[in-house]
Amino acid sequence: MTRQGDTLIQIEGGKMNDQAENQKDPLSYPGQALSQEISPEVDRRTFLMRSALIGATAVILGQPVSAEERAAKAAAGTPPKLDPALNVVKKGKGPVMTTLDEFYKVGPGPSSSHTIGPMRITYDFYQRCTKLPADKLAKATALKVHLFGSLSATGKGHGTERAALAGVVGKEPATVDPAFLDGLRDKPDQSFPVKLGDKSVEVSLKDIIYDAQKGDWPHPNTMTCKLLAGKDLLLEQEYYSVGGGFIEWKGYTPPKKNPPKYPFSTMKELRQHAEKNNLSIAQVVLANEMTIAGRSEEEIYAFIDKITNAMIAAVKSGLNAPEDDVLPGPIKLHSKAATVLKRAMNDQFETDRAIGVVSAWALAASEENARGHLVITAPTGGSAGVMPALVYGLSEVRKLPAEKIRHGMLAAAAIGYLCKHNATLSAAEGGCQAEIGVASAMSAALLTTAYGASPRVVENAAESALEHHLGMTCDPVAGFVQVPCIERCAFGAVKAWIAYTIATNEIESRHRVDLDATIAAMAQTAKEMNSRYKETSEAGLAVSVTLC
Ligand code: SF4
């Protein structure tokens, strides 16, 4: 029971139930003062203004109107208002077809779009070159790679030129030795022979060209690769590093795959499959993975185990780095994961200890990313500290069975797939909300699934984590994935834990915002965000922080 003014209002389970009181005073119950249901076809601001006006008129006239009536009146006659520009990268209209091995990729840091993607691109181009007829290859004299847009603006801080050169000489992200990339950084004048049939062409970092930063390309991360015979072109291909290590090229069509068992392109559809078939979100994703990729459950679990082991290794390696190590680059940023862990463990308050250690695990993996060591895109390199922190905590500290972690990884992937399908994973398109925001949402799904929550709670947790990253810009200082990125991973991990805690403790049916709405909001925000805040290092912290 509580008292509000002179009116006694009954509260049960957090919801007021005295309808008679509410009928008398439409403003006494906040849930009635603002109508709850907003039609998806109605602009929210217009709706709220109309609703408030109708409510106020009713009070003045002494004729109370229920919330439901107000909602109906407010919506009546309002034309559907949809943003025609609300289409960031959603080109494929069918169901989600992404598979785990496309999504979780092992590769060198610091950036999936600016390091792993460019390396995959030049490796792909190298493969294409090797397939040219022998008489063409015999004429080859040079290989050139041009970087445009965001790749040109911030590539130096991401080691893009070293990654691109590694791909040209036939190295793949998952197997490249980070020492090779470090060697290029320390001795940039090295050149390497590239074998093309009977011919060999020498390449060096001089062949990776930082080209125009502004231009009209299909994607802000554009590259062109050329095989030359003197001034003549033997082969040229335009590529796009579209985020999360995914690559496309001019004329790209997605590879043909088997149809999924449970087709979905929205969270609503995914949850309906789960609820109708009495499955978890993870089981739906597993069934789809088996049909789309034609893999057995054992093969899928073996792949997930490989990824989780790599995540755990990244955290361990980061924690084992010398305390107060200095990370590469002009910021001269000291690492802090080991120090934060050591001090947090000694904290007198249990809650502070928990937040401190989760942060330290995220800092550890993120610092590994900054060192250019191997990390896992979940969904990107910049956000590669978020999920590993939670995987490490669940596996190594709480000792959850592998089965629960595997299911968590499947549910997390589903959230990443939906964000990619209906918005973007690329900071160059959508800012940091598309990286750390998505990583945090995926991690919230991981936690809720690992602890056996219902599909609705999994959705609620993911939604909550993403919602509280909306609008986050990408402004890496000096173009290096360090400030704000490393600490941001710690915040993403802790926010995922908050989302898990709220979602598993609230009444699930009362969670007001659905994940699809939040992903749509992320897409719209991405579209309308000033491009200077999209991984260009032209604004925000990148200009307000002074390096001395
Ligand atoms: S600010 Fe965020 S999106 Fe930008 S590079 Fe850093 S982690 Fe990635």
Domain boundaries, the chain: 2-75, 106-243, 267-544
Distance from Cα 86 to the centre of ligand 1, integer Å: 23
Span 193-204, mean pLDDT? 95
Are the beta carbons of 434 and 424 closer than 8 angstroms? yes
The backbone region for 372, taken as left when phi is positive above 0, alpha when psi lies in -120 to 50, beta otherwise, is: left
Residues with CB under 6 A from ligand 1: 382-383, 427, 432, 435-436, 474, 476, 481, 484-485, 488, 535
- Phi/psi at 224 (5° precision): -125, 140
Question: In this structure, which residue's CA is closest to atom 8 in ligand 1?
Answer: 382
pLDDT at residue 324 tops 90: no
Ligand 1 pocket test: pick from 111, 436, 545 the residue with the most ligand atoms within 8 Å of its Cβ: 436
Whether residue 306 has pLDDT greater than 50:
yes
Residue with tokens 């093309």: 196
Question: What pLDDT does residue 79 have?
Answer: 33
CATH class of 106-243: alpha beta
Q: Which has more confidence, 14 or 466?
A: 466
The rounded percent of the chain whose pLDDT value lies above 90 is 78
Q: Band the pLDDT of 25: cuts 50, 70, 90.
A: very low
| Residue 547 banded pLDDT, cuts 50, 70, 90 | confident
CA dist list (Å): 188 to 159, 177, 394, 445: 12, 17, 41, 43
Average pLDDT over residues 407-436: 96
| Residue in 112, 368, 383 to alter for ligand 1 test, most ligand atoms within 8 A of Cβ | 383
Q: Which are the contacts of 361, defined by CB distance < 8 A and separation ≥ 6? A: 315, 319, 337, 341, 385, 388, 389, 390, 392, 393, 493
Closest residue to atom 3 of ligand 1, CA basis: 432
**Half-sphere exposure for 339 (CA within 13 Å, toward CB):** 8
* Distance of alpha carbon 352 from alpha carbon 355, whole angstroms: 5
Q: Is 532 helix (H, G, I), strand (E, B) or coil?
A: helix
Cβ within 8 Å of residue 30, ≥6 positions away = none
Max intra-chain CA distance, the chain = 94
CA–centroid distance, residue 116 to ligand 1 (Å): 15
pLDDT (average), residues 5-34? 32
pLDDT tens-place string over residues 215-262: 989 899 999 999 999 999 999 999 999 988 999 999 999 889 999 999
Q: Is the pLDDT of residue 18 over 60?
A: no
Q: For residue 441, is pLDDT > 80? A: yes
| Whether the predicted pLDDT of 92 surpasses 60 | no
User: How many Å from the N-terminal Cα to the C-terminal Cα in the chain?
Assistant: 60
Average pLDDT for residues 513-535, to the nearest whole number?
A: 95
Q: What is the mean pLDDT of residues 158-163?
A: 94
- Tokens representing 247 are 């690559």
Return the pLDDT at 255. 85
Residue 360 has pLDDT above 60, yes or no: yes
Q: How far is the CA of 141 from the centre of ligand 1 (A)?
A: 38
**Is beta strand 232-243 parallel, antiparallel or unpaired with respect to 222-229?**
antiparallel
Which ranges of 385-514 would DSSP assign to H, the alpha helix? 386-392, 402-422, 427-430, 436-450, 455-467, 485-505
Average pLDDT over residues 191-216: 95
Nearest atom in ligand 1 to the alpha carbon of residue 383 is 7
Best of 435, 525, 536 to mutate for ligand 1, by most ligand atoms within 8 A of CB?
A: 435
| pLDDT tens for each residue of 44-78 | 444 444 444 444 444 444 454 444 444 444 434 34
Cβ contact 375:384 at 8 Å: yes
As a whole number, mean pLDDT of residues 472-489 equals 96
* Mean pLDDT across 110-115: 93
Q: Give the pLDDT score at 243.
A: 87
Q: What is the pLDDT of residue 91?
A: 54
Average pLDDT estimate for 298-323:
96
Contact yes or no for 151/221 (Cβ under 8 A): yes
Pick from 221, 432, 489 the residue to mutate for probing ligand 1's pocket: most ligand atoms within 8 Å of its CB. Answer: 432
Please, which pLDDT band fits residue 546 given cuts at 50, 70 and 90? confident
> C-alpha angle with apex 454: 105 to 410, nearest 5 degrees?
15
**Which has the higher per-residue pLDDT, 381 or 17?**
381
For residue 272, give the 3-state DSSP assignment.
Answer: helix
Q: Of all protein residues, whose CA lies closest to atom 2 belonging to ligand 1?
A: 432
% of the chain surpassing 70 pLDDT: 83
Nearest CA to ligand 1 atom 1: 474
Q: Which pLDDT belongs to residue 370?
A: 96
Compute the distance between CA of residue 388 and CA of residue 378 in angstroms, rounded to an integer. Answer: 9
For the chain, count helices (H), then strands (E): 23, 13
Mean predicted lDDT score pLDDT of the chain: 86
The pLDDT value recorded for residue 42 is 42
Tell me what pLDDT residue 525 has. Answer: 96
Of ligand 1's listed atoms, the one at least distance from the Cα of 435 is 3
* Cα–chain center distance at 215: 25
